[in-house]
């Protein structure tokens, strides 16, 4: 089934530009895989996007070319970690034309290029791609690099923030749809890219399992390790997970103060007991328990506040992969009262 993410992936593979909607920060970017970027793409960005034209590169490549990041990069920064701007060294070239900037793009990803092949400062702005991509940092540079990699291209992308005619940042879907139609660009959100990677890449591995008698009945407790950050996730299973009937399932975000210390500042402990009790009554079901190491960050805040959207999506990806590893092919989400299909882990 085609989705916005798969359509964008096809466009990237074919060298067509895409519009990346940053649904975390309310921004949008025109982007293309660096390997496919030509003067026409640079000109398109300068004409329709109007922001700074940058190229996302992995840290190893920036180090090879001796292009240091300006300031201290932070995964939580609201802006991209830019490196020193460059132009490829060419006789008689100004560096600013679409042809010149296209030549700089290709030189930056050409394996044989050396630091001395570039003039600093220049008219193209490298930006550091965070290791782990959108799994780690949900930003447009990570999204276009992840799409390029999934398309089998060099892991780099050229992008430019989109501005309106009035000079404001463009983010409203109707405006983006109109621009996409005008230039023939598919629109994809960073959340779409995050979910697409979650469907195609294995992110957890099973590390241990044991019986767990409780007041609600006997469960099998299985521990999983996240391959991104080594966090451990827990699955509590009652009944046969391989049954043809949809498996009742609940996702639980870890809350030390609520689950361990029975805090009255949140309902986390009560909700966990309700889910365990429901599964005990049904005699079958699974609870997926994801850790939350941000206890100190939430002290003094509303403890019932949900985790950021990026973490929620990330935990959903992990949850679906854990369900698949357990042999569950269809689940009934207790909290949302709906059924979902679970892809076979062998496809990841």
The Cα-based distances of 167 to 156, 162, 163, 215 in angstroms read 27, 9, 6, 62
| 346 has pLDDT over 50 | no
CB-hemisphere CA count at 13 Å for 279? Answer: 32
Give residue 326's pLDDT: 94
* CATH placement of domain 4-199: 3.90.870.10
Confidence class for position 344, pLDDT limits 50, 70, 90: low
The ranges assigned to domains in the chain are 4-199, 204-347
Examine the pLDDT at 347 and tell me if it is beyond 50.
no
- pLDDT, residue 78, reads 56
pLDDT tens profile 197-223: 999 999 999 999 999 999 999 999 999
Confidence of residue 188 (pLDDT cuts 50, 70, 90): very high
pLDDT bin (cut points 50, 70, 90) of residue 142 is very high
User: Tokens standing for 162?
Assistant: 């989109």
By DSSP bridging, strand 118-129 and strand 50-58 are parallel
What are the tokens at 86? 């460059």
- Residue pair 57/159 in contact (Cβ under 8 Å)? The answer is no
Q: pLDDT, tens digit, for every residue of 66-94?
A: 999 987 755 554 568 999 999 999 888 88
Q: Please compute the mean of the pLDDT values over residues 81-110 and round it to a whole number.
A: 95
Kindly report, residue by residue over 38-65, the tens digit of the pLDDT: 999 999 999 999 999 999 999 999 999 9
Locate 295 and state its tokens. 């206890």
Q: What pLDDT digit, counting tens, does each position of 313-327 carry?
A: 888 898 889 999 999
**Does pLDDT of 18 surpass 90?**
yes
**Mean pLDDT to the nearest integer, 173-202:** 95
Whether 156 has a pLDDT exceeding 70, the answer reads: yes
pLDDT at 231: 81
Kindly report the average pLDDT of the chain as a whole number.
89
Give me the residue label for tokens 């996730």: 233
Predicted pLDDT at 39: 98
Residue range 20-31: mean pLDDT, rounded: 95
- pLDDT one-digit tens code per residue, 112-122: 999 999 999 99
- Please indicate whether the domains covering 4-199 and 204-347 agree at the CATH topology level: no
Helices (H), the chain: 4-14, 39-44, 59-64, 98-109, 140-150, 173-183, 190-200, 256-259, 268-282, 295-298, 309-325
CB burial of 170-196 (b: ≥16 within 10 Å; e: otherwise) equals bbeeeebeebbeeeebbbbbbbbbbbb
Position 307 pLDDT exceeds 70: no
Q: Has residue 225 got a pLDDT over 50?
A: yes
Query: Tens digits of per-residue pLDDT, 274-306?
Result: 999 999 999 999 999 987 654 434 444 444 444
pLDDT at res. 150: 97
Model pLDDT, residue 73:
58
User: For domain 204-347, which architecture applies?
Assistant: 3-Layer(aba) Sandwich (3.40)
The residue-averaged pLDDT of 237-266 equals 86
């Amino acid at each position: 089934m085609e989705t916005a993410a798969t359509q964008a992936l096809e466009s990237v593979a074919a060298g067509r530009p895409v519009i990346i909607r940053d649904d975390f920060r309310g921004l949008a970017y025109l982007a293309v895989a660096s390997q496919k970027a030509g003067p026409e793409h640079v000109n398109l960005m300068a004409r329709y996007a109007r922001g700074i034209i940058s190229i996302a590169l992995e840290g190893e490549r920036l180090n090879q070319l001796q292009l240091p990041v300006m300031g201290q990069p932070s995964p939580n920064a609201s802006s991209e970690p830019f490196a020193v701007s460059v132009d490829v060294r060419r006789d008689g070239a100004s560096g600013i034309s679409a042809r010149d900037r296209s030549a700089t793009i290709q030189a930056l990803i050409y394996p044989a290029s050396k630091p001395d092949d570039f003039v600093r400062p220049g008219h193209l702005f490298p930006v550091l791609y965070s290791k782990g991509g959108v799994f780690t940092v949900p930003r447009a540079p990570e999204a276009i690099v992840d799409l390029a990699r999934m398309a089998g291209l060099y892991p780099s992308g050229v992008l430019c923030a989109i501005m309106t005619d009035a000079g404001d940042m463009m983010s409203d879907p109707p405006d983006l749809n109109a621009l996409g139609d005008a230039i023939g660009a598919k629109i994809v959100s960073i959340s779409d890219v995050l979910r697409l990677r979650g469907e195609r890449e294995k992110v957890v591995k099973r590390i241990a399992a044991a019986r767990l008698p409780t007041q609600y009945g006997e469960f099998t407790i299985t521990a999983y390790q996240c391959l991104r950050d080594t966090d451990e996730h827990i699955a509590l299973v009652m009944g046969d997970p391989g049954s043809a009937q949809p498996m009742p399932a609940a996702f639980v975000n870890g809350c030390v103060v609520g689950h361990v210390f029975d805090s009255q500042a949140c309902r986390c402990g009560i909700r966990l007991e309700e889910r365990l009790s429901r599964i005990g009554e049904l005699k079958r079901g699974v609870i997926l328990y994801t850790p939350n190491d941000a206890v100190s960050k939430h002290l003094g805040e509303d403890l019932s506040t949900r985790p950021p959207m990026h973490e929620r999506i990330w935990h959903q990806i992990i949850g679906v992969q854990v369900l698949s590893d357990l042999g569950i092919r269809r689940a009934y989400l207790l909290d949302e009262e709906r059924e979902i299909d679970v892809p076979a882990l062998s496809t990841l």
